[in-house]
A and B are shown apart, each in its own frame.
Chain A
Amino acid sequence: MKIIYIAIKDMTRSMRSTFAVLFMFGVPLLVTGMFYFMFGNIAAQGNGFDLPVARIVIVNLDEKSPNMQLGASMMGTLDGQNADNLGEIIVRTLQSKQFADLLKVTIATDLANARNAVDKNVADVALIIPADFSSRYFDQGSVSVQSGLELYSNPEKTIELAVLQSIMGQFMDALSGAKIAASVTANHASNLDYAVIGKVVQEYFAGANQQSFNPRTLINVKSVTKVADPNPVAGIVGPIMAGMMVFYAFYTGMTTAESILREDEEGTLSRLFTTPTSRTVILAGKFLAVGLTVLVQVVVLIVAAWLIFKIQWGDPIAVMLIALGTVLAASSFGIFANSLIKSTKQGGVIYGGVLTVTGMLGMIKIFTLQVPNTTPMMQTVSLLVPQGWAVNGFLQSAAAASITDTLVTVVVLLLWSIVFFSIGAWRFQRRFS
């Protein structure tokens, strides 16, 4: 119980410091808020802001179906170039001048090449059109997500994925409407007059209302379990918030762990050692306080960012795991760094230097998120520091990365934590033995 009492006492002291609270909660939200309002205002003024050009690689495996009477006639109507299948129409649409400012489209010969392009960061998203896409689409009874379009994306390319999803969503809506219109027109073509046209329109709308499936469900995003929030402002502010949260979590870990040195200088640590409480329990209580303080900070920031900026952090379990990994890494890093310092006077300089360098390195991913064609090395450098892994984790989670990718990040954060904590705890034990 004494461990808990020491931790509660330390947390109470931390939370009573206006300066500490400001840096724990105020500054990260304030910085993110500045970006939020900046991008929000630009969007509200209708000027837009520079979206990155999404690099799309398409593999079209779609085939012509011999039984596709309606589809064949529609294809001529829609495309004007007598396309054999819907896949061709999609490719031509995405390659059209209309989307030239948003998309840079390349064609892959097969599935493996398309996925490989994404894996190697040559493309942001792969659009895979399955072989039976046309035939299934024109036979509503057998439509399923499994036979739909597949989007395979780099988990960090949330905006590019959202752009393509949005375009394809609109395309599928239009295709659905056209299908109904073509169907109605075919039924009434022999008696074409004004009354028939009125009936066509009427039936078009009736058909649209009776549509039993949502054509957008045909877009099947692989490596993504949940469709990312299409709100571009939140999409841009999310990584910034993640970066701020990680940066200040490590700052809090560092300054909270400093209380060990401060108590040593103020004489309260010596006094604690004169009570019938073992030194291991006293240090454990101090360490627990660091972890709990960072935990409170991270949880509050995640929830506040979700409420204030509508940031979608991703799957709750993935977010919890990444948050836990971040808390442990930030706390143990603080304990480790303070164990190397002799006094709080040294702390100010060292905290500033260490946190700035490691923090900036860790946030390279965020800085380069909107920069096209970044080298893989740029991404790798950030993983040299624990902040980089924590940032990576939150980006993965927001992009709904697979649980395997998330777990790898969490495990690496835990490994960092074990190393930092072991060295820090050992050094403090030795110092106060």
Chain B
Amino acid sequence: MNAIEINNLHKTFGDIKAVDGVSLNVQEGEIFSLLGPNGAGKTTTISILSTLLKPDNGDALVLGHSIQNEPMKVKEALGVVPQDIALYEDLSARENLYFWGRMYGLRGAQLKQRVSEILDIIGLSDRQNGRVGKFSGGMKRRVNIGVALLHKPKVIYMDEPTVGIDPQSRRSILDSVVALKDQGMTVLYTTHYMEEAQELSDHIAIMDNGKLIANGTHDELVKLVGQLDRITLTINPESKQIVDIWKLTPGVQTISAEDGILTLLVDDSNRVLPRLFETASVNGVRITSVEIQVPNLETVFLHLTGRALRD
């Protein structure tokens, strides 16, 4: 059964099509990742699904409730972890949880018990009376997630919850996402980190420029690329001329250049790489690093858009 059904969503801001005809289904109890670079339309999609924004067209059902016609039912059913930390920094972790719990309709002993449980889950029981403003970025992120779990939602949206935090906190958050799935929650997770989507997701949808450009399991998406190898090169000095030459080199399917780093999809790296070194040498360009990768989601994105999936 589908926890979320998105049908032909559109949202425009001025001349910019932030969401352009997105349709997808998220099954109950799975982790579904929306992957895409910044500005791809992931947050706008989440905002529409959270009833924060009204779509220009289309609709979505969350546990069978229309975001257009039953927004309050939708809000009751879901928890939202916003991209930026949305907490009251001059209140303690406990006070924040109490306040947000009340906003989700919790009261009395139930609220008290749930706040204690959440403090345990996010590992901040011993810091519960500390003001959030004095917490580290990782601790704030954990409280930020804790707030969304207070009312035991069946569906949770997590909008890039690991942005700007240390590796240890990131690991902790990724583990907690898996734990939520194990508890039966449906998680809609947005990220521009390919590794996160790859590690966590049952299904992945790739967005770019407001459009859904691919949707499936990790293996299904990688199959889109076929047997192409991905080569990442660093050259010195930067040269547009060499990029143009390499585009015409036999075996090179796509090439993208950004900040002196070139990413190529090639038929067979063993045959293509010597040709690249040769033309580089002839044109006075030095290749300072080479990395060959088997196909992954980055490769898929590069294959589909001709651009690398970076910040």
B partners with A:
yes
How far is A270 from B75 in the complex, measured between Cα atoms in Å?
Answer: 13
B76 x A13 contact (CB < 8 A): no
- B99 and A274 within 8 A (CB): no
Besides A5-B102, A275-B75, 20 other A-B contacts (C-beta < 8 A): A2-B103, A9-B88, A9-B99, A13-B91, A266-B86, A267-B82, A267-B84, A267-B85, A270-B86, A271-B100, A271-B147, A273-B51, A274-B51, A274-B75, A275-B100, A275-B103, A276-B76, A276-B104, A276-B105, A277-B103
Q: Which residue of B lies closest to A271 (CB)?
A: B86
In the complex, what's the smallest C-beta–C-beta distance from A297 to chain B, in angstroms?
Answer: 19
Is A5 within 8 A of B99, CB to CB? yes
Contacts of A5 in B (CB 8 A): 99, 102-103
> When chains A and B are docked, how far (Å) is the Cα of A276 from the Cα of B101?
11
- Whole-angstrom CA separation of A278 from B87 in the bound complex: 19
Q: Please give the distance in Å from A172's CB to the nearest CB on chain B.
A: 61
The residue in chain A whose Cβ has the minimal distance to the Cβ of B87 is A268
Question: Does B80 lie at the interface of the complex (its beta carbon under 8 Å from any beta carbon of A)?
Answer: yes
Please state if A274 and B52 are interface contacts (CB–CB under 8 Å): yes
Residues of A within 8 A of B102 (CB): 1-2, 5
Interface footprint category on A? 20 to 34
Q: Which residues of B contact A268 (CB under 8 A)?
A: 86-88
- Give residues 256-275 of A contacting B (CB, 8 Å): 266-268, 270-275
For residue B220, CB closer than 8 A to chain A, the reply is no
Q: Is A16 an interface residue (CB 8 A)?
A: yes
CB-defined contacts of A191 to chain B, threshold 8 Å: none
Q: Does B263 contact A (CB under 8 A)?
A: no
Interface residues on B, range: 20 to 34
Q: Which residue of A lies closest to B131 (CB)?
A: A16
Q: Is the interface of B mostly helix, strand, loop or mixed?
A: loop
Interface residue ranges of B71-90 to A (CB < 8 Å): 72, 75-76, 78, 80, 82, 84-88, 90
Please tell me if the beta carbons of B75 and A9 are within 8 angstroms of each other in the complex: no
Pick the 9 closest A-B CB pairs, nearest first.
Answer: A267-B86, A271-B86, A275-B103, A276-B75, A274-B80, A276-B76, A5-B102, A274-B50, A268-B86
Q: Which residue of A lies closest to B76 (CB)?
A: A276
- Chain A interfacial positions (CB closer than 8 Å to B): 1-2, 5, 9, 12-13, 16-17, 266-268, 270-278
B78 neighbours in A (Cβ, 8 Å): 274
List 19 A-B residue pairs with CB atoms under 8 Å apart, sorted by A's residue number: A1-B102, A2-B103, A5-B99, A5-B102, A9-B88, A9-B99, A12-B91, A17-B90, A266-B86, A267-B84, A268-B86, A268-B87, A268-B88, A271-B80, A274-B51, A275-B103, A276-B75, A276-B103, A276-B104
| Residues of chain B contacted by A12 (CB below 8 angstroms) | 91, 95
Most central of B78, B95, B103 by chain A CB within 10 Å? B103
**Interfacial residues, chain B to chain A (CB-CB below 8 A):** 50-52, 72, 75-76, 78, 80, 82, 84-88, 90-91, 95, 99-100, 102-105, 147
Complex: A268 Cα to B75 Cα, angstroms: 16
Chain A residues with Cβ under 8 A from B99's Cβ?
5, 9
CA distance A9 to B105 in the complex (A): 16
Chain A residues contacting B76 (CB-CB under 8 Å) are 276
Chain A CB within 10 A, most for which of B72, B86, B90, B95: B86
Does the CB pair A9–B91 fall under 8 Å? yes
Interface pair B75/A13, CB less than 8 Å apart: no
Q: How far is the CB of B160 from chain A (nearest CB, A)?
A: 13
Q: How far is the CA of A121 from the CA of B158 in the complex (A)?
A: 70
User: A266-B86, A267-B84, A267-B85 given as contacts; is B91 within 8 A of A272 (CB)?
Assistant: no
What's the Cα separation between A276 and B76 when bound, in Å?
Answer: 5
Chain B residue nearest to A282 (CB atoms) is B103
- The docked-state distance in angstroms from the alpha carbon of A12 to that of B86 is 17
| Distance from B54 Cβ to chain A, minimum over Cβ atoms (Å) | 9
- Please, how many angstroms separate the alpha-carbon atoms of A266 and B133 in the complex? 13
Residues in B with CB closer than 8 Å to A270 are: 52, 82, 86
Cα distance A268–B88 when bound, in Å?
Answer: 8
Q: Name the A residues within 8 Å of B91 (CB-CB).
A: 9, 12-13
- Chain B residue contacts of A271, Cβ below 8 A: 80, 82, 86, 100, 147
**Bound: A2/B102 CA distance, A:** 7
CB distance from B42 to the nearest CB of A (A): 16
Closest to B80 in A: A274
Distance in angstroms from A256 CB to nearest chain B CB is 14
Give Cα A276–Cα B84 distance, bound, in whole angstroms: 20
Please indicate the chain A residues that have their CB under 8 angstroms from the CB of B88 in the complex: 9, 13, 268
Assembly CA distance A167 to B121 (angstroms)? 78
A290 to B88, CA, bound (A): 17
In the bound assembly, the distance between CA atoms of A60 and B72 in angstroms comes to: 77
Q: Is A16 in contact with B103, judged by CB distance below 8 angstroms?
A: no
